[in-house]
């Protein structure tokens, strides 16, 4: 699977569990460690676990992909899931602010989100005009 598609899928799976402030950074020109970083915020340890499980379970069941490594812990409020070309950072808000990966990798362009058919701006409102 293309690494850009994988990064976007990871963000979509995180969004399904209500992850906050998700972003994908294109770090291909800045490091050889990965092509993309996915960074999302969870509100609690159970929320981080749910996001992590959502991503890893869906990638395993739908695409037969398993992470090369997982590091960190829910107790430290920062979990890193490594899929070789895509590295996912799941963080609590206070940890995300402290380490500020978006500024650290500030030269990395952000990957635009795909427009979803279920996005509020894409859903057309039904007309409330009375029928004749």
Give domain status of residue 117, yes or no.
no
Full-model pTM: 0.83
Q: pLDDT tens digits for 41-78? A: 999 999 999 999 999 999 999 999 999 999 988 778 99
Give domain status of residue 27, yes or no.
yes
Give domain status of residue 127, yes or no.
no
Give domain status of residue 121, yes or no.
no
Domains of the chain: total: 1
CATH at 104: 3.30.460.10
Q: Which residues constitute the domain of residue 74? A: 3-112
Q: Please, which contacts does 52-60 make with residues 24 or more away whose CB atoms are closer than 8 Å?
A: 52/79, 52/81, 52/90, 54/13, 54/14, 54/16, 54/17, 55/10, 55/13, 55/14, 55/81, 55/88, 56/81, 58/9, 58/13, 59/6, 59/9, 59/10, 59/13, 59/83
Give domain status of residue 38, yes or no.
yes
Give domain status of residue 124, yes or no.
no
Q: pLDDT tens digits for 94-103? A: 999 999 999 9
Give domain status of residue 131, yes or no.
no
């Amino acid at each position: 699977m293309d690494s850009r598609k994988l990064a976007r899928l990871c963000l979509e799976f995180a969004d399904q569990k209500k992850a906050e402030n998700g972003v994908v950074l294109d770090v291909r020109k800045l490091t050889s460690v990965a092509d993309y970083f996915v960074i999302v915020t969870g509100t609690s340890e159970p929320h981080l676990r749910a996001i992590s499980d959502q991503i890893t379970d869906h990638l395993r069941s739908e695409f037969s992909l398993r992470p090369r490594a997982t590091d960190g812990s829910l107790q430290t409020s920062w979990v890193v899931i490594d899929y070789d070309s895509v590295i996912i950072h799941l963080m609590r808000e206070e940890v995300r602010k402290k380490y500020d990966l978006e500024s650290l990798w500030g030269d990395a362009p952000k990957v635009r989100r795909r427009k979803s058919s279920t996005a509020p701006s894409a859903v057309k409102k039904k007309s409330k005009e009375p029928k004749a």
